[in-house]
Amino acid sequence: MSWVDIVTDSKKVMIVDDDPSVREVLKMMLKDFNVLEAADGEEAIQKFMIERPRIVLMDIMMPKIDGVEATKKIKEMEPETIVVGITAFDQSRKEDLINAGAKDVLTKPVTKKKLLKLIESDS
């Protein structure tokens, strides 16, 4: 068992979105998980280095560092992390996020059923 296995909590999920209302809705959907929040890619990278969540829900369009760049950095630090993109508008960048290492990209609004099915299949 590696150090990462010891500190990684399979129920730890980080929600990264610049819209606080989106983070709040997702957090309510994930009430049975240990949820962390970040408002942009830069904050996500900083929190990831400390918290090492197993799953990251990543918005694509954000200030400072976008979801594509943040995903690349997170996957460099921990390739086993599951990143799921969440976007409302920028379907053109969906492929960029997948190429950066995201497992899938969900379109907002995200349903609780779809989100839990995706997360629980990887926990």
pLDDT digits 0-9 by tens, 9-43? 568 999 999 999 999 999 999 998 999 999 999 99
Q: Is the pLDDT of residue 2 over 80?
A: no
Of the CA atoms within 13 Å of residue 96, those in its CB half-sphere come to 15
Task: Give the dihedral of Cα atoms 41, 85, 47, 26; nearest 10 deg.
Answer: 110
Average pLDDT over every residue of 51-74: 95
Give percent above pLDDT 70 in the chain: 89
pLDDT digits 0-9 by tens, 70-110? 999 999 999 999 999 998 876 678 889 999 999 999 888 88
Cis status, amide bond into 20, omega within 30 of 0 = no
Q: How many domains does the chain have?
A: 1
The whole domain housing 56 covers 3-120
Average pLDDT over every residue of 45-66: 94
Radius of gyration for the alpha carbons in the chain, expressed in angstroms and rounded = 13
pTM as predicted: 0.87
Q: What is the CATH number for 76? A: 3.40.50.2300
